[in-house]
Structure 1
Amino acid sequence: MEMLLLFGVFLVLLLAGIPIAFSLGIASMSFLLLEGMSLTVVPQRMYSGIDTFVLLCIPGFILAGNLMNVGNITEHIVRFSNAVVGHIRGGLGLANVGGSMIFGGISGTAVADAASIGSVMIPGMSKAGYDKPFSAAVTAASSTIGPIIPPSVPMIIAGSLTGVSVGRMFLAGAIPGLLLGLAMMVTVYLLAVRRGYPKEQKPTLRHLLREGRTAFWALMMTAIILYGIIGGFFTPTEASIVASLYALVVGMYVYKGLSWRKLPSILLDTVLTSSALLLLVGLANLFGWIMTTQQVPQMLADLILTVSDNPIVVILILNLILLFVGTFMETIAALIILFPALMGVATGVGMDPVHFAVMAVLNLMIGLTTPPVGVCLFVVSGIGNLPMLKVAHAIVPFLICNLAVLLLVSYVPAFSLWLPNLILGE
């Protein structure tokens, strides 16, 4: 009865439009009061949820993304991508995906990607003759690459929950992220040919070199972060600070889009975003703790294994659960609540923890582009001034290609494990 109240209150609040963090918190406190438990457990569990060193990198990567946006680094990434692929049919759509792949190697968050790339590309693509819903759909779909290609905030959360190496998970996401980007590029090209979208003039070698030279400092940011983490020169948390300092210097002194007067508003925005995210982590940890004390994860695991213990079937069930949860729950909350429980099921049928982590994050990223709580859909709808249903309809071809990549990643472990095993050993 008490668990029905917990989930019932949570779902009612969520459907009423209450932010997910407060929905989790109110539902959890309702359960504690009904059980007669002291509310002192609320700050205790919230604090224990955020008292993890690796979570310190979240404000760092958010700050790096904000500095990139204001410092014109994002614009140079998009211009370089357009110079490389703009002459192909649907080239601006391809550049949109390419820019997200590069940007994803710096910010690690899908929403930051959708907001930054979208503010440049959606108006630009519409002006060039692309349908606005298509422009918004490409932006939302490609933003999901960000948390797959390292660094990745969701993978940092997953690592803090289970103790799995964050560096190994970063490496494991590289090939699936590239597969996701290439699949979307193929989809963009096929739709562009079918609909007759424009292409730009083929760039001269001089133009290509000029754009490559101006984008060099932006591209080096990704290389420094990845090489530093993989090479053991700094932790993910230290990498986020290096990324922020690098973005500050390049934005201020190379691209000259930043100034000291803009820093207070950038820092304020970073503080607000980070505090909201960490509040969500803390309250989701409280909700997850209640579920654990009531043995819900164990019941869920037993239920799945009573259906089948065949790895192929179990992996399919895990995908369906994660996809369903991703349609209405924010990624971080879903990871904290479900990831440890489902990890036990996955490893029980022989899945590598790193392989499962990549599969879980990919599932939840797809959820960011599906109604009713597709955060990236809301972001691009706001930028394009479009009804969300129009964008949701336009994104269907990209969802199909993303699901195809998800099945490949789920059933072929080598896509996730080959690179970390090659570089770090098995």
Structure 2
Amino acid sequence: MLLLLGSFIGFMLIGVPVAIAMAVASVLYLVFYGVAPDIIVAQRMIAGVESFPLLAVPFFILAGNLMNIAGVTGRIYAFAVALVGWMRGGLAQVNIVGSVIFSGMSGTALADAAGIGTIEIKAMRDHGYPVEAAVGVTAASATLGPIFPPSLPFVIYGMMANVSIGALFMAGILPGLVMTALMMVTVAFFAHRYGWGSDAPFEIRKLFAASLEIVVVLAFPIAIYGLTYAGLSLNISVALALAMLIALDWYYDYSAVMALMTPMILIGGMTLGWFTPTEAAVAAVIWSLFLGLVRYRSMSFRSLAKAGFDTIETTASVLFIVTAASVFAWLLTVSQAAQMMSDAMLSITDNKWVFLILVNLLVLFVGCFLDTIAAITILVPILLPIVLRLDIDPVQFGLILTLNLMIGLLHPPLGMVLFVLSRVAKLSVERTTMAILPWLIPLFAALLIITFVPAVSLWLPTQMGLIR
């Protein structure tokens, strides 16, 4: 265990990328102790990515990239301005609402920060907000991406923990709304303290138009229910309702109805059993292509090629981390290191609430040094047996683990959202870190609620029959 963990930590301290550090530490352990033939490394790496749920990873990444080039981000931003831009601290509130909508398409914090976050930071700057305020609220709202469905970390966790990915997706909705409410309250507090005003005039016409778009989207499932009740089959009802929605959107030229429909299609399709979460990722790509090529006509072959190459690059880095982490996690089990760590934690306490406090502290610390995917792959084999032994629902634990790691994305030395926003805002990492610190308060408040009020995570999937 000392060789495996010691070499891994040593490589990390000298700046070796996390995936390479895990792979080299694993090879060193195999060479020195000969617990298995060297070929086992290749076999375990292949086994780590030979999974149907992992097919969702490249498709969700591609969907996020396509949304960014399809002009969807600008329409979402305009919709959010009409909806909440008239409030005090209007563009900060717009930042949060825009991230909520965009998170239903991309599933990643980085896509949110690099996509709609770029627009929001520039707009807040131009309206006189301190750049630190713009960076802070953008960083905090970017963490919503992997909490609202769809979510790449939920896909990885569901595969590792053998938990329903659909249940995890549904479990993220209420915690995401809680996080949104806490962030909007925080914005209201800062607006009062620093005298931020509204950034768009209160126009009942624009507010009514934005509210009407929400009503149109919500009318979609109602129309399906009505057509089904009238005797049509479910598939025909959906096709007719979608055709009516597209016709309305084309006729009235709504700014964001089609974008708002993305999470509705994904969540509704999984709920009705039309497709698995993996197939939902493909549906997200198809819908993104429809928006960019047909509805908005904002995509070109050059931009499509760029989105494809960006997806290949990101997918390769993510899956390389998964492969290296799968070998490392297997050796933690083989070497009894995982069991020793579990026993050590259980020797401290067998109270589930104390255990959850310790887990929060541990994962918050780990999240500062490890990539999200690597952390999930390593920690789940260690912590899940204790979670099940203490009768903690693994779905709730998935929410706790993911939110902790999202907070880790905002911290040095390896916080990717931190570095992305530092580059976008042209701030030093130190100034960006200080700008983010006040916005950790609503995130920690949400973490406490999700940890100690299980119903927030479990009520919706329980009501939908996804968990018992």
Please state whether the residue corresponding to 1:160 is helix, strand or coil: helix
Instruction: From 263, 271, 291, give the equivalent of 2:312.
Output: 271
| Alignment match, 2:410 | 369
Asked if structure 2 preserves the Cα contact closer than 8 Å seen for 1:70 and 1:257, the reply is yes
Q: Which moved more, 1:199-208 or 1:335-344?
A: 199-208
**Where does 1:387-406 land on structure 2 (aligned, <5 Å)?**
387-406=428-447
| Alignment match, 1:347 | 388
Task: Return the alpha-carbon distance in structure 2 between the equivalents of residues 33 and 370 of structure 1.
Answer: 35
Task: Return the alpha-carbon distance in structure 1 between the equivalents of residues 40 and 74 of structure 2.
Answer: 46
Shift of 1:272: 1.0
Please state whether the residue corresponding to 2:15 is helix, strand or coil: coil
| Alignment match, 2:122 | 123
Task: Return the alpha-carbon distance in structure 2 between the equivalents of residues 407 and 189 of structure 1.
Answer: 21
Letter of the structure 2 residue corresponding to residue 381 of structure 1: S
| Alignment match, 2:192 | 193
Instruction: From 265, 279, 282, give the equivalent of 2:323.
Output: 282
Please state whether the residue corresponding to 1:214 is helix, strand or coil: coil
Asked if structure 1 preserves the Cα contact closer than 8 Å seen for 2:368 and 2:413, the reply is yes
Task: Return the alpha-carbon distance in structure 1 between the equivalents of residues 86 and 51 of structure 2.
Answer: 47
Shift of 1:182: 1.2
Task: Return the alpha-carbon distance in structure 2 between the equivalents of residues 187 and 281 of structure 1.
Answer: 36
| Alignment match, 2:26 | 28
**Where does 1:65-214 land on structure 2 (aligned, <5 Å)?**
65-208=64-207, 212=213, 213-214=254-255
Task: Return the alpha-carbon distance in structure 2 between the equivalents of residues 415 and 62 of structure 1.
Answer: 28
Give CA-to-partner distance per residue, 1:178-208, whole Å, 9 cap, x none: 1111111111221122112232233423334
Task: Return the alpha-carbon distance in structure 2 between the equivalents of residues 173 and 126 of structure 1.
Answer: 31
| Alignment match, 2:425 | 384
Task: Return the alpha-carbon distance in structure 2 between the equivalents of residues 206 and 198 of structure 1.
Answer: 20
Question: TM-score of the superposition, structure 2-length normalised?
Answer: 0.88
Task: Return the alpha-carbon distance in structure 2 between the equivalents of residues 105 and 55 of structure 1.
Answer: 19
| Alignment match, 2:16 | 18
Q: Which has more radius of gyration?
A: 2
| Alignment match, 2:262 | 221
**Where does 1:227-238 land on structure 2 (aligned, <5 Å)?**
227-238=268-279
CA separation of 1:105 and 1:21: change in aligned 2, threshold 3 A: same
Shift of 1:255: 2.0
Please state whether the residue corresponding to 2:464 is helix, strand or coil: helix
Letter of the structure 2 residue corresponding to residue 46 of structure 1: M
Task: Return the alpha-carbon distance in structure 2 between the equivalents of residues 332 and 46 of structure 1.
Answer: 15
Asked if structure 2 preserves the Cα contact closer than 8 Å seen for 1:129 and 1:198, the reply is no
Give CA-to-partner distance per residue, 1:352-398, whole Å, 9 cap, x none: 11111111111111111122211110010010010111121121222
Task: Return the alpha-carbon distance in structure 2 between the equivalents of residues 87 and 131 of structure 1.
Answer: 19
Task: Return the alpha-carbon distance in structure 2 between the equivalents of residues 69 and 316 of structure 1.
Answer: 38
Shift of 1:340: 2.6
RMSD of the alignment, in Å?
1.4
Q: Unmatched 5+ residue regions in structure 2? A: 214-253
| Alignment match, 1:313 | 354
Task: Return the alpha-carbon distance in structure 2 between the equivalents of residues 181 and 296 of structure 1.
Answer: 39
Instruction: From 290, 294, 298, give the equivalent of 1:249.
Output: 290
Shift of 1:16: 2.6
| Alignment match, 2:228 | none
Shift of 1:210: 5.1
Letter of the structure 2 residue corresponding to residue 45 of structure 1: R
CA separation of 1:81 and 1:10: change in aligned 2, threshold 3 A: same
Task: Return the alpha-carbon distance in structure 1 between the equivalents of residues 14 and 72 of structure 2.
Answer: 39
Shift of 1:276: 1.1
Please state whether the residue corresponding to 2:255 is helix, strand or coil: helix
Asked if structure 1 preserves the Cα contact closer than 8 Å seen for 2:89 and 2:191, the reply is yes
Asked if structure 2 preserves the Cα contact closer than 8 Å seen for 1:134 and 1:391, the reply is no
Asked if structure 1 preserves the Cα contact closer than 8 Å seen for 2:3 and 2:29, the reply is yes
Q: Which moved more, 1:198-207 or 1:85-94?
A: 198-207
Asked if structure 1 preserves the Cα contact closer than 8 Å seen for 2:59 and 2:285, the reply is yes
Asked if structure 2 preserves the Cα contact closer than 8 Å seen for 1:297 and 1:341, the reply is yes
Q: Which moved more, 1:76-85 or 1:47-56?
A: 76-85
Task: Return the alpha-carbon distance in structure 1 between the equivalents of residues 30 and 187 of structure 2.
Answer: 50
Letter of the structure 1 residue corresponding to residue 8 of structure 2: F
Letter of the structure 1 residue corresponding to residue 192 of structure 2: V
| Alignment match, 2:368 | 327
Question: TM-score of the superposition, structure 1-length normalised?
Answer: 0.96
% of aligned pairs identical? 43
Please state whether the residue corresponding to 1:328 is helix, strand or coil: coil
Task: Return the alpha-carbon distance in structure 1 between the equivalents of residues 190 and 369 of structure 2.
Answer: 28
Q: Which moved more, 1:378-387 or 1:363-372?
A: 363-372
Shift of 1:39: 2.0
Task: Return the alpha-carbon distance in structure 2 between the equivalents of residues 25 and 192 of structure 1.
Answer: 48
Q: Which moved more, 1:11-20 or 1:115-124?
A: 11-20
Give CA-to-partner distance per residue, 1:30-83, whole Å, 9 cap, x none: 222222343211110111110110000111010100000011111111211121
Asked if structure 1 preserves the Cα contact closer than 8 Å seen for 2:109 and 2:146, the reply is yes
Shift of 1:123: 1.2
Letter of the structure 2 residue corresponding to residue 35 of structure 1: Y
Shift of 1:321: 1.1
| Alignment match, 1:240 | 281
Task: Return the alpha-carbon distance in structure 2 between the equivalents of residues 349 and 135 of structure 1.
Answer: 42
Task: Return the alpha-carbon distance in structure 2 between the equivalents of residues 45 and 138 of structure 1.
Answer: 41
Letter of the structure 2 residue corresponding to residue 8 of structure 1: G
